[in-house]
Amino acid sequence: MKLELVDAKKWINLFVEKLEKNQTDLNELDTAIGDGDHGTNMKRGAEAITAAFEKKDPENLSDLYKATAFAMIQKVGGASGPLYGTAFLDMSKAVKTDNLELGDLLQIGTDGLKRRGESDTGMKTMIDVWQPVSDALKVNKFDQKVIDNALENVKNLVATKGRASYLEEKSKGHIDPGAQSSAYLFESLIEIMGA
């Protein structure tokens, strides 16, 4: 399945809404294993995305993902801004000449996360949501259960990357805030795909 510009715009706008609505929840998750500001940071990114789209309505998929990337890089603090930014920037480059299947496109974003964060699955990061979603999309088996299972898996992991890694075993039993904000991204995608 491929996302065309109209639906891709709806996807990112829905993600923005979810980030704004769930700011407090994301901050609470981050308070448990981080510095408590993931929700605030992501809301700042969400507002920047909206402002970027209002300033110049993206005319193609590449522009859309690029505007999303730069809004995240410029406005989201901590590691999340550069990570989300890298994923969307890589996706932007990938669709410049050809619209890709969603599974392949998200794999490019996931690979960007791995490269930028020097991490992989199993380290209790947003990659633990991105990779299962990419895999499921490639075989047309993507649904809410994929996201729920990914979050459950993240909860049971011990963090070996990022701020939560300082907590070692104590990080177990908590959902990584970046994984949760990624879940909002992909829940928004489900809504668009079902529309």
The one-letter code for the residue type at 113 is L
Look at residues 107, 128, 117 and name the one whose alpha carbon lies nearest to residue 179. 128
Task: Say if residue 172's pLDDT is above 80.
Answer: yes
The CATH number of domain 5-194 is 1.25.40.340: yes
Q: What is the pLDDT of residues 62-115, one digit of tens each?
A: 999 999 999 999 999 889 999 999 999 999 999 999 999 999 999 999 999 999
- What pLDDT is recorded for position 163? 84
Where do the structural domains in the chain lie, given as residue ranges? 5-194
Cβ-proximal residues to 86 (8 Å cutoff; 6+ apart), any chain: 69, 112, 113, 115, 116
pLDDT tens for each residue of 142-171: 999 999 999 999 999 999 988 888 888 999
pTM of the predicted model over 0.75: yes
pLDDT tens for 115-135 read 999 999 999 999 999 999 999
